[in-house]
Chains A and B, each alone.
Chain A
Amino acid sequence: MMLENEALAFGETEGDFSAVDKARVVEALGKVLPPGTLMYDAEDLRPYECDGLAAYRALPLVVALPTTEEQVVAVLRICHELGVPVVARGAGTGLSGGALPHTRGVLLSLARFNRILKLDPLARTAVAQPGVRNLAISEAAAPYGLYYAPDPSSQIACSIGGNVSENAGGVHCLKYGLTVHNLLRVRGVTIEGEIVEIGSGALDSPGYDLLALVTGSEGMLVVLTEVTVKLVPKPQLAQCVLAAFDDVVRAGEAVAKIIAAGIIPAGLEMMDQPATAAVEEFVRAGYPLDAKAILLCESDGTPEEVAEEIARVRAVLEESGATEIRVSRDEAERLRFWAGRKAAFPAAGRISPDYYCMDGTIPRKRLGEMLTAIQDMEGKYGLRCMNVFHAGDGNLHPLILFDANQPDELERAEEFGAEILELSVALGGTITGEHGVGLEKINQMCAQFTTAEVRQFFRVKAAFDPPGLLNPGKAIPTLNRCAEYGRMRVSKGHVPYPDIPRF
């Protein structure tokens, strides 16, 4: 037996929503949403036209700002009945266009779901609405000596619902895991308006692991209304080692040697010389400017544990040919070491009119190879690139610098980026480690997955969303799109709000 909407369910073609009637949608939603929570005039829609990937912009048909779960259910039931696409949005800080509005759809903002509903210090759990900011959870947990571990650098702005939808990482995920490892439960609503509870306060649930499936699903499967996260005890102490190298490949090898020595640092980051020069100018972190690469290696735990680990890290770094090693002497110095790393993106924005951030992940041992290849590409495309890496987990954020006002620089930057992503796949890695596919990397998905695998993704989506109304056109490319990939190169853009620290 095949599903009726076979072509859509099996991912051959994009859905056609041209018949959606705005007046009808506005009328129906107006009946279930209180005044002031439904917007449909162009000037009210404008603030929602893009997420953190500002090069892609579109005005939705309407914006709905529900305040209760009943309203979310009602909105989704109406959209289901009328066949209207729905794009859920948290804080809008995503970098892959995942919350880009659908021109024939409802932009469902969860910004008003902004309360922490419960915090249980003994059980070490917090129940939050999806619009709660990541950092707000850690702030609420701080009086109990607890915190929420995943810390994407945009954590002062990004929402927990968005974190779940993207499976957000951060600089500490090598030791503390990604969002998927720190989540206990979500509550959400399907496109059919059914409330689903996935997970619980227990560590596992009967049946298939839908919690993992929903995490990182980019708003394609359910609309979240509640999230239960695990809280962990704050380490007594954190200390950071800064090591300088006169060669990027040697720095990459040092990363592998630290892991090989059986050490799992709390954070292990790398920056190349152009990146350190750019941030030093900006934040004066005291980085050695003559180094070709620097490593930041953080250790946390009890004072005894940290002392033991730092000594081991130091020994490995010395053996790996570090030209200089500094250990943070106090919290202020530790924060200064990190300030530079966290300011890499704003710093790129200061030295270049535009930049384009990549998110490939590769096996750690291929770091040196990738860095050498990127250096060659700089010559090939005539553009500069500064590299910041979550080196510990092989996640690269090369920042390609360009000026969109110069003829063909944008095109060259895009080709440069595509070559890095395709090399990431060729080296045994992936096109996206933590930013998501969204719309930005949808073509590169065709390079990473086969037709049969893409079909399977569409079937999985249909298991939650048979009519294909949740965030259509994102995350998973249709097979038609893949067939066109190669002559189609979509434009990418820079990050708005450059003052928010990222990654």
Chain B
Amino acid sequence: MTTIEKEWAERVRAAAAARTPLCLRGGGSKGFYGGPLAGEPFELCANRGVVAHEPTELVVTVRGGTPLAELEELLAEKGQYLAFEPPHFGPGATVGGCVASGLSGPRRANAGALRDFMLGIKLLDGRGEVLRFGGQVMKNVAGYDLSRLVAGSLGTLGILLEVSLKVLPRPVAEATLRFELDEASALRRVNEWGGQPLPVSATLWQDGVLHLRLSGAEAAVQAAGARLGGEALAPAAAQALWTAVREQTLPGFAVEEGGVLWRLSLPSTAPALGLPGRQLVEWGGAQRWLAGAVEARAVRARATELGGHAVAFRGGDRAAGVFQPLAAPLAVVHRRLKQAFDPAGIFNPGRLYPEF
């Protein structure tokens, strides 16, 4: 154990004994996400640095407090990247926060989500024990997959000391095409394209315009572009667009005072929402953003009806519950898992669900 790990383990044991809730904090860039922040602040940025990066192994192992930007820079030097395009939502974003939030960017529907790139973790649990699960290799079925379980758990299962992520070579070529299409036509089109061998790497529909990004071998991107038509964006404009989508700096993501930005995760073929508010459609139809003052119950009911779920992503009454309530048997499993990792209930209470 490192000095920091020893110190933190002691602090966790003391907090568990005293039942003192801890509010885990990395760069503070995603404090807006999830249930209300509660507990004694526990700063995680000191535990930073790259433990190992072997470009030929396609694996990087870093400490939780490592700035996400620093990791991305290191990978870029070797022509590699995090293919799930994680959003930063602020200059301080850390790798630990990235894993805890479990969020993925525009490439998710095609390249996979953060959880798909998790290979292994080193975790400090609520007993103050340092546990390692998974590893640094691509294929590993020894023991339950507890590294993926931690992805998106919002710090409720423990402190992420280290994570090993699969990395990929950057695509050789990229191009972004623009099409004028109404919502229904855009939804149909992106699903049809999804069933064809095309190098699609992101889609965005908003206000009657569909943007489609292609990534891959030079020849494949060119051939697909020629076949699909549309109007090509200049490379700089394209890059600015997808960064603005990832970081939600496009005006469409803005919420007014008292409004909520809803994220609906749906089957890609789900029809148009038919709810009032501004909309953006990503991930080939599988992720829909809705900004406005829509009643929570109506949004959740519509998401359920369409076979998915809704998250009050930004704004609104966080104490009332940000995530879609779980079916009873799954809620039981969740409580037991929380208990298994954090028996005293000290890590980020209420951040994922009000019950724990």
Residues of A with Cβ closer than 8 Å to B?
Answer: 120-125, 144-146, 166-167, 169, 173-174, 177-178, 180-181, 190, 194-198, 200-210, 212-213, 215-217, 220-221, 233-236, 256-257, 259-260, 262-264, 301-302, 304-305, 307-309, 361-365, 390, 393-395, 428-437, 441, 445, 448-450, 452-453, 456-457, 459-464, 466, 475-476
Residues of B within 8 A of A178 (CB): 139
**Separation of A393 and B216 alpha carbons in the complex (Å):** 21
For B143, give its contact among A235, A361, A457 (CB under 8 Å): A457
Query: With A262-B79, A456-B146 given, is the CB distance from A123 to B267 under 8 Å?
Result: yes
Given contacts A181-B116, A206-B309, A233-B197, contact A429 B217 (CB under 8 A): no
| A393 near B139: Cβ-Cβ < 8 Å | yes
Q: How many A-B residue pairs have CB under 8 A?
A: 261
CA distance A234 to B196 in the complex (A): 8
A124 to B275, CA, bound (A): 26
Which residues from B are CB-within-8-Å of A257? 56
Bin the interface of chain B by size.
35 or more
Binds A, one of B69-77, B241-249, B251-259, B327-335: B327-335
- Is the CB of B231 closer than 8 A to any CB of chain A? no
List B residues 121-149 near A (Cβ within 8 Å).
125, 129-133, 135-146, 148-149
The reply to whether the CB of B237 lies closer than 8 angstroms to some CB of chain A is: no
Known: A302-B223, A449-B143. Contact between A206 and B79, CB under 8 A? no
Residues of A within 8 A of B191 (CB): 122-124
Judge if B46 is at the interface, Cβ distance under 8 Å: no
* Interface residue from B137, B196, B326 paired with A145 (Cβ < 8 Å): B196
B153 contact set on A, CB distance < 8 A: 208-209
Contacts A173-B139, A208-B153, A394-B139 given; does A262 touch B170 at CB 8 Å: yes
Instruction: Decide if B195 is an interface residue (CB 8 Å cutoff).
Output: yes
Contact check, B223 vs A203: say whether CB atoms are below 8 A apart: no
Whether A428 pairs with B137 at a CB distance below 8 angstroms is: yes
Task: For the complex, give the distance between the alpha carbons of A446 and B130 in Å.
Answer: 17
CB within 8 A of B340: which of A121, A177, A460?
A460
> Given A449-B143, A464-B333, list of 10 further CB < 8 A pairs?
A178-B139, A198-B330, A200-B267, A200-B308, A202-B308, A208-B152, A259-B58, A263-B169, A264-B168, A430-B141
Q: Complex: how many Å from CA A160 to CA B339?
A: 32
- Residue of B113, B145, B168, B329 touching A194 (CB-CB under 8 A): B329
List 19 A-B residue pairs with CB atoms under 8 Å apart, sorted by A's residue number.
A201-B266, A206-B309, A207-B326, A208-B152, A209-B148, A233-B195, A302-B224, A308-B217, A395-B138, A395-B139, A428-B137, A430-B142, A434-B141, A437-B141, A441-B142, A456-B125, A463-B340, A464-B333, A466-B336
State whether B132 touches A453 (Cβ < 8 A).
yes
A393: contacting residue among B55, B137, B287, CB under 8 A: B137
Chain B hits for A460, CB < 8 A:
144, 146, 337, 340
- Cβ–Cβ contact A169 & B143, under 8 A: no
- Determine the chain B residues whose CB is within 8 A of the CB of A449 once the complex forms: 142-143
CA–CA, A195 to B308, complex, Å? 18
Please indicate the chain B residues that have their CB under 8 angstroms from the CB of A365 in the complex: 54, 56-57
Known: A259-B56, A304-B219, A463-B336. A361 touches B112 (CB 8 A): no
Enumerate chain A residues within 8 angstroms of B323, measured Cβ to Cβ: 206-207
The reply on B232 being an interface residue by CB < 8 A is: no
Rounded to whole angstroms, the CA-CA distance of A305 and B324 in the bound complex is 42
| CB <8 Å contact, B135 and A209 | no
Give the residues in chain B near A308, CB-CB below 8 Å. Answer: 217-220
With a cutoff of 8 Å between Cβ atoms, the chain B residues found around residue A121 in the complex are 195
Confirm or deny: B277 has a beta carbon within 8 angstroms of a beta carbon on chain A.
no
A106 to B226, CA, bound (A): 59
Which of A120, A263, A430 has most chain B Cβ within 10 Å?
Answer: A430
Partner of A262, one of B112, B115, B152, B169: B169
Report the minimum CB–CB distance from B87 to chain A (whole Å): 14
Q: Known contacts being A262-B79, A394-B139, is A305 close to B144, with CB within 8 Å?
A: no
Q: A123-B191, A393-B139 are known contacts. Are A459 and B340 too (CB-CB below 8 A)? A: yes
B91 vs chain A, min Cβ distance (A): 26
B283 interface residue (CB < 8 Å to A):
yes
Contact across chains for B283 and A122 when beta carbons are under 8 A apart = no
